[in-house]
A and B are shown apart, each in its own frame.
Chain A
Amino acid sequence: MASLYVEELLARAEEREAETLRSVTVHKELDLEFDAGNLLAVDKNPVARAVAREGAAREDLLRVLARDNTQLLVGQLWALPSERAEGGSGPVVVKLPEPSTRLPREKPLPKPRPLTRWEQFARLKGIRPTRKKRGTLVWDEAAKEWRRRWGYRRAGADPKRDWALEVPEGADPLEDQFAKRRQEKRERVARNEFNRLRNLARAHRGAAPELHPTGHQDRAELGRATAVARLATASRGRFQPRLPKEPPVAKSPGGGKKRHFGPVLGDLEGEKKRQLELVRSLNAKKPPLDLTRAVNKQLRQEDAEAAAGKAKGKKRGQRGKRGRRQQQRPGGGGGAKGKKSGGAARRGSQGGPGRIGGKRKKK
């Protein structure tokens, strides 16, 4: 009797389980495609034709279809690995995979920054940056806090806040050192900006403007693109007809001046003038001033000077180090070292540590 009861109970339980499963299972002819990352399901089964007919039946059909599809999608989502948010106290969240549906981007890919002149040169020569990227904050020993490397409230003594300045040896005592420093700073800033703009111009110069596939571009850009395209014929654009309202372009393909030979006979006055001008320029001691070249030369010179100044500083540092190293070495070479340090001393007070070391050794 008891065994019969058990069987009955088991059967009932099984039936109940089947019923609950039935409530969450949906049968479809074709399986749905899921993209859990986008909470997306695509049902490729054909829809009942009755949906196309007007009436309340359509709404019911659509709701049943939507319910079944949602049930399947929810089944997919519930199967994903879940956890409790906020370290076990929050609601249950599931980790979604990356979206698999490929959708167009909003904007084009970011372009890599064009190399500056120095970067290009360094790459060509295989020069690697020795210095690691510096952070913006540095420890200020005087203020006992972290401060910015530059700008307002910078670390170290801010040169702007100095209330007295030393007049360098050999300088005019009446010269305003503050004004001089301001002027130097202004020049450095200007030069930096000039170089930045030059780098920008250089990056833009070489490349022909891209034509956008949708064809909406501004006028100047289109003009430049057509000017480049005009030259893309076998005869470098020589026989290319002009469009009705197109502005005249430079005649020669390179955009430069085309050399014209003057008439052999005729304009005597002009010829005389030209020849005299030529002779005068040959006789002149000073070459004619080329402004761009002059500016570039000046800038280069200044850069070189700045670099030389830096190199000097470096050398001093090295010498100091060498002195220290010699200090540790036991005996010998003392005389030679003394000579060297003497040389350093003549130049200034930089040879100090070396000499002190030498004295100590004699003891």
Chain B
Amino acid sequence: MQEGIPQKMDSLDRVVKPKTKRAKRFLENRAPKLTENTKNAMFIKGGNASSTVTDALKDIYALKKPFAVLYKKKNVTRPFEDQTSLEFFSKKSDCSLFLFGSHNKKRPNNLVIGRMYDYHVLDMVELGIEKFVRLRDLKNSKCPEGTKPMLIFAGDAFDLSENHRRLKSLLIDFFRGPTVPSVRLAGLEHVLHFTAVDEKIYMRSYKVLLKKSGCKIPRIELEDMGPSLDLVIRRTHLASDDLYKLSLKQPKALKPKKKKNISHDAFGTKYGRIHMQKQDLDKLQTRKMKGLKKRPAEMKTGNEHSPKKAKLG
């Protein structure tokens, strides 16, 4: 089951070459890249899933949509015990984010949110749903599909423990969508607000209404859009420090090249360092006077340039 795609496939390191241009393109698209594509998310239902969990998966899928895959069938697997099937799915659909939903007596309404690195589970956090309001329960207007949300994290709890810190990073990674160079101001319609109080996480999704305020910045009003979830952190599986560090590694080619001899101080003032060669003071042109003029005999020995010029002329 694991051998769906051979491991370690670099674009040029392949013994059997792709036969068609299309196959080549497909493989190149999956190969490691310098600037990566937007992470895709897969939504997987466990062996048993309550309607709450199923709806939660569907609603979050709707928020995530162009960069997501919803698995329709049940998959009897337990991510915290055996990650192989998740890794297989990740490889199969080229997704590095996942949300797994299940429901049992011991852990009712369970969501496992996680991310992958190199098709292996990096971080995984188990969240229990305590309260859930569906997208369709609220009869307000919704935002269009594929809107890049504004993400807001509130509460000091997000910085207190390593679990919370990783969860915050994971949620940013999960919901941020594509990295864009510019954004339309009127298109900022969606806010995802995460509030942490102790072990509880309140996830709220609002539609933004931009009201006239009389000045340049508009006044913001929010309208509940759904889905809203009250979550509680259960088990966690975090990557070891060196693996996490490895995954954070940035390619050298993308780092901005340091410009020589240019520096900035704390106030942002630009300084340039200029290297000058030592000036030859003997050849310095001083004030021209008849008395300081060189004699014809000196001219012949001292200055090499003038006789040459004479020759040319």
Contact = CB atoms under 8 A, between A and B. Distances in A.
Given A23-B213, A218-B2, A52 B183 contact: no
A91 B151 CA distance: 23
Nearest to A102: B248
Interface in B220-264: 220-222, 224, 240, 242-244, 246-251
A298 B13 CA distance: 27
Nearest to A67: B222
B203 to A, nearest CB: 10
Contacts of A38: 151, 172, 176, 179
B216 interface: yes
Contact of A74 (B220, B224, B244): B220
Given A39-B148, A77-B188, A110-B32, A105 B247 contact: yes
A39 B151 contact: yes
A73 interface: yes
| Candidate in A21, A37, A105 with the most chain B CB atoms within 10 angstroms | A105
B152 interface: yes
B247 A104 contact: yes
Contacts of B250: 102, 105
A47 B220 CA distance: 20
Contact of A21 (B7, B37, B215): B215
A62 interface: yes
A105 B117 contact: yes
B185 A106 contact: no
Given A46-B155, A107-B36, A63 B117 contact: no
Contact of B216 (A51, A78, A213, A217): A78
Nearest to B252: A109
Interface in B110-152: 115-118, 120-122, 148-152
Interface stretch (A93-101, A126-134, A232-240, A264-272): A93-101
Contacts of B15: 197, 200
A44 B248 CA distance: 24
Contacts, number: 222
B195 interface: yes
A41 B156 contact: no
Contacts of A296: none
Interface in B171-193: 172-173, 176, 179-188, 191, 193
Interface string B21-43: 00000000001111011010000
A165 B243 CA distance: 64
Contact of A96 (B3, B182, B198): B182
A74 B217 contact: yes
Nearest to A39: B150
B32 A108 contact: yes
B22 to A, nearest CB: 17
Interface range for A: 35 or more
B98 interface: no
Contacts of B32: 107-111
B173 A212 contact: no
A103 B173 CA distance: 7
Q: Identify which of B15, B36, B220 gathers the most chain A CB atoms within 10 Å of its CB.
A: B220
B120 to A, nearest CB: 4
A42 B193 CA distance: 10
A92 B202 contact: no
B208 interface: yes
Interface string A31-43: 0000001111111
B54 interface: no
B107 interface: no
B185 A77 contact: yes
A210 B208 CA distance: 49
A328 interface: no
B220 A213 contact: no
B13 A200 contact: yes
A20 B34 CA distance: 47
A102 B218 CA distance: 30
Given A47-B197, A93-B185, A214 B33 contact: no
Contacts of B196: 47
A43 B154 contact: yes
Interface of B: 2-3, 7, 10, 12-13, 15, 31-34, 36-37, 39, 83-84, 87, 96, 115-118, 120-122, 148-159, 168-169, 172-173, 176, 179-188, 191, 193, 195-198, 200, 202, 204, 206, 208, 210, 213-222, 224, 240, 242-244, 246-251
